[in-house]
Amino acid sequence: MTELKNTERELHLFRLRLSVAGFVVFILFGCLLARFIWLQVYKHNDYVAQAEDNRISVVPVVPNRGLIVDRNGVVLARNYSAYTLEITPSKINGDLETLIDELATLVDIQPKDRRRFKKLQEESRNLASSPIRVRLTDEEVARFSAQRYRFPGVEIQARLFRQYPLGSVASHVIGYIGRINQREAKEIDEGDDATNYRGTEHIGKEGVEKNYEDKLHGRTGYEEVEVSAGGRPIRTLSRTAATPGDNLILSIDIELQKVVEQAFGDRRGALIAIEPSTGDVLAYVSMPTFDPNLFVEGIDQQNWDALNNSPDHPLLNRPLSGAYPPGSTYKPFMALAALELGKRKPSDAISDPGYFWFGNHKFRDDKEGGHGFVDMYKSIVQSCDTYYYMLANDLGVDAIHDFMKPFGFGQKTGIDLRFERTGVLPSTAWKAAAYRKPEQKKWYAGETISIGIGQGYNSFTPLQLAHATAILANNGVVMKPHLVKMIENGTTRQRTLTVPKESYRIPLKQENIDVIKNAMVGVNKEGTGARAFARAEYVSAGKTGTAQVIAIKKNEKYDSSKISDRHHDHALYTAFAPADNPRIALAIIVENGGFGGAAAAPIAKQAMDFYLLGKRPDDKTPAKPKKEVKEEFVE
């Protein structure tokens, strides 16, 4: 049976299907066209920007850190370029230790390098690279470059390194820089200068490196670099140059610093020398010292333990943070207070039996049998304790406090270093605030007696003692002590003084100052400092001092042979010279050194000989006065 086809019906179905297919194709092309218009017209600017971002990389250009030089231009901190091998742990494939082992076949990686790398990783910012080796040789660079493809996440970087060419000399002044840790990174990111630290890996940690970080760092520049799809740089499109950091010109005379540090030898202590008329700190010695170069790329554990656990505390900044009783170096200021407050005249004399009774307590003089009749001149020259026991009792602790405060005792000097200690200048108000129990808050009259000889609650930093001595030498004119004399603009070389004028003046009578200065000259001519200055070629003024480390029981006598070296008295000495026109004033403490005239004064003499005469301790030729250097500056 023959089946007839319905041609018309099939043709209708075909046309229908064709129409549907055409409509679908039309819709699809319409969608594509709409999407094309959306991308090419409406989103054009956005995608062009993204394409440019992919094509162009903005690379920070880290500025050269400013130099640090002494007052005569000797470089104390500088920069040099070298290659480092750096690992970014987030970009490596496989085990980190295995990778380091493989790298060690190409470059020399010591156990100390591994320890430092691990420590840096613990302290560094997230995803940051850390050096496994610094200062690569040219041969090591070549060997790694040939095998670079094997080590994703490992790069050779050209870096600027900080170097302290004199090593441990003046390390507590200069300080050091170190790699930015997580805490510092957070502070930078939350601060106003975050963009200026893009690409920066190091920051000032201690000393003037830290205190003048904003000056030394400079301003970060930028490069727009065209890169390939693989991220390789093709060409530099534009460049905004980095602005180098400012240079710091210190007030320190580094040769004087060396002389003093060598004079200390292996003894502990501090010396601060100041130019009275300007406040320039000429020498700032804290012994023992340390090598700041150890910290630049992260100190290894062995060296850190040696420094941190040393009983000599080389990391302690003694002039700034050490607090000691001033001992008899306080007596010239007590005598000046007596003159200014009308409690004594220079000619007033006492009979010293070798002790002073107050209530039922016997305050002993250092000389058995006493000094006989003692006026003000003799009290300073021979350092008579009894004279000052009586004077302290007559003045009272609050009058002493109020007179001493303008000299900077128990006050921060404002020197350009951080973490300065305040010290203690006692008063009735101080004690009431310092203690909790009611019976401890009360000031007892007997506590005032030992204040007069620089003992008791008195506790000052060597810097405060040097500052006060400089004020006395400068006839009451107060200049803020400072370590950075001038800041030199890194681009224009314009120089600006950091302390251009005096802070204030203490209203003192010149005739009273002259009495004290004359007695301090007598100390070095016929008194407790005479042996050290017996052949000095200039006239100097000084005062020796001894500060107790441990208390001596009643009716006992101090005997250094029966106690440990660490319990011996501290030796102190203050001085200025030339006496009629002081160019240098200083304070020195030799910890556990004993008598100030024997341990401290000879070091001070060496410092003055060098600064005033250019004479070194081992120099046998006749000394010649040093010429004063006149420096140009722009305010």
- Residues annotated as catalytic are 328
Q: What is the Cα–Cα distance from 294 to 292, expressed in whole angstroms?
A: 5
Token code pair at residue 600:
């401290």
Instruction: Enumerate the β-bridge partners of residue 273.
Output: 283, 586
Q: What is the Cα–Cα distance from 547 to 91, expressed in whole angstroms?
A: 60
Chain position carrying tokens 């005479």: 530
Instruction: Count CB atoms within 10 A of the CB of residue 546.
Output: 29
Q: What is the Cα–Cα distance from 225 to 242, expressed in whole angstroms?
A: 16
Is 371 labeled as ligand-binding?
Answer: yes
SS3 215: helix
CA angle 55, 57, 58 (to 5 degrees): 145
Are 610 and 289 in contact by the 8 Å Cβ rule? The answer is no
Token code pair at residue 571:
């030796």
Rounded to the nearest 10°, the torsion over CA 87, 89, 94, 98 is 50
Is 31 labeled as ligand-binding?
Answer: no
HSE on the CB side for 470, CA within 13 Å? 31
> What is the enclosing helix (H) or strand (E) of 160?
strand 154-163
Burial of 475 (0-12, 13-18, 19+ CB in 10 A): middle
Q: What is the Cα–Cα distance from 237 to 224, expressed in whole angstroms?
A: 5
300-305, Cβ contacts within 8 angstroms, sequence gap of 24 or more: 300/112, 300/115, 300/116, 300/119, 301/115, 301/119, 302/112
> What is the enclosing helix (H) or strand (E) of 261?
helix 254-264
HSE on the CB side for 295, CA within 13 Å? 26
**What would the 3-class secondary structure string for 411-456 be?**
CCCCCCCCCCCCCECCCHHHHHHHCCCHHHHCCCHHHHHHHCCCCC
SS3 237: strand
Which residues are annotated binding-site positions? 352, 365, 371, 384
Which residues are annotated binding-site positions for Zn(2+)? 352, 365, 371, 384
